[in-house]
Structure 1
Amino acid sequence: MEGRMRVLTMPNAAFAQGEVSVERGLQVSIIGGCHDCHTEGYSETEGKIDPEKALMGSSVGWRGPWGTTYATNLRRDAAVMSERGFVGMLKRIRTFPPMPWYNLRAMEESDMQSLNQYIRSLGKPGKPAPSRIHPDKEPTTPYVQLVPPQMPNN
């Protein structure tokens, strides 16, 4: 299979809310938009998940007034935490843009548990994604420049 990409697909059967399973975690990762940023090449392949790259973070940064941030390698996070620890992290996390951390808090706990099981099922954690760069430093990786709109003076 050299040169060919393996693709992870989700069966057509719906997975019940409240069920804790790897399959439900896959569904949550897609619906929750996790792959949009945390899986390099996901958008370019129109939503095909390459298990070798799935949720390993991104080397493309998001630059704004907060500095430059990168989608983290979620496999590394899941590998070093218990399921309970992972769920706790999702409930407490606050991050820099563009990560919508507040959406994580709206997830059902069973979906958080399923997400953890799915991420752990992907295999080796791999290397870390780049760390956040402070606003006064120039990133050496490709990045997307985000410019917040100016608020009108009242």
Structure 2
Amino acid sequence: MKPHVQASCAAALLAACSAGLAADPAPTESSDPVQRGRYLVRIAGCNDCHTPNYAPSLGQVDEKLWLTGDRLGWSGPWGTTYATNLRLRLAGLSEEQWLHLVRNMQPRPPMPWFNLRSMSEADLKAIYAYTRAMGAAGEPAPAFVPPGSAPTGPVVRFP
């Protein structure tokens, strides 16, 4: 390929990539906390478990259902856990209580608590702001089922 053609292809590729980035920019920490929280919830995997049918539908779930918990259980040697309805949970917490909960929780698998604890305080506050702005919605998730007890409903089983 001739140098001027390579340069034209590279320029076109760069322009296409830049256009894609400009279409969906990542809010910065100085952005509106609600929009920053929405972005973080979307990219951090919160919806994967805390939004019904999010993963099976490849993320094509109406935003009004985001973070309303799920009836799909996660079963293993620890028992069976369910993804909390965060919209209901955070509706009853102050921002300070939310931060304390994240920093001190003792979650059961498969919750990736280490990822949440690694987030900056500004990111955690943004997630709180977004979740609270959405308002309380949905039903509480099923209660934890201890080891040796049989869960009802669908579950993902871990060895």
Which TM bucket (shorter chain)?
A: 0.7 to 0.9
- For the residue of structure 1 that corresponds to 2:49, the secondary structure is helix
Question: Corresponding residue for 1:66?
Answer: 78
String of CA shifts for 1:22-45, please: whole Å, max 9, x gaps: 110011112211000000111122
Amino acid at match of 2:76: G
Summarize the alignment of residues 1-154 of structure 1 with structure 2, pairs less than 5 Å apart. 12-19=24-31, 21-147=33-159
Instruction: Give the structure with the larger helix fraction.
Output: 2
Post-superposition Cα deviations, 1:88-118, rounded to whole Å, max 9, x if no partner, equal 2111112110001121110000100000111
* 8 A contact 1:77–1:86 mirrored in 2: no
* Alignment-mate amino acid for residue 116 of structure 2: L
Q: TM-score, normalised by structure 2?
A: 0.80
- Tell me the residue number matched to 1:3: none
* Cα RMSD (Å): 1.5
The whole-number CA distance in structure 1 between the counterparts of 2:61 and 2:26 is: 18
Between the aligned residues of both structures, percent identity stands at: 41
Give the drift of 1:13.
2.4
Letter in structure 2 aligned against 1:120? R
Q: Which amino acid aligns with 1:125?
A: A
Whole-Å separation in 1 of the counterparts to 2:99 and 2:137: 18
Amino acid at match of 1:27: Y
Q: Which 4+ stretches in 1 moved above 6 angstroms?
A: none
Q: Distance in 1 between matches of 2:57 and 2:152?
A: 25
Is the contact between residue 91 and residue 135 of structure 2 (CA under 8 Å) also seen in structure 1? no
Q: Secondary structure at the match of 2:69?
A: coil
5+ residue gaps, structure 1, are 1-10, 148-154
Q: 1:104 to 1:20 in 2, by over 3 A?
A: farther
SS of residue in 2 equivalent to 1:132: coil
Superposition deviation, residue 65 in structure 1: 0.5
The amino acid of 2:136's aligned partner reads K
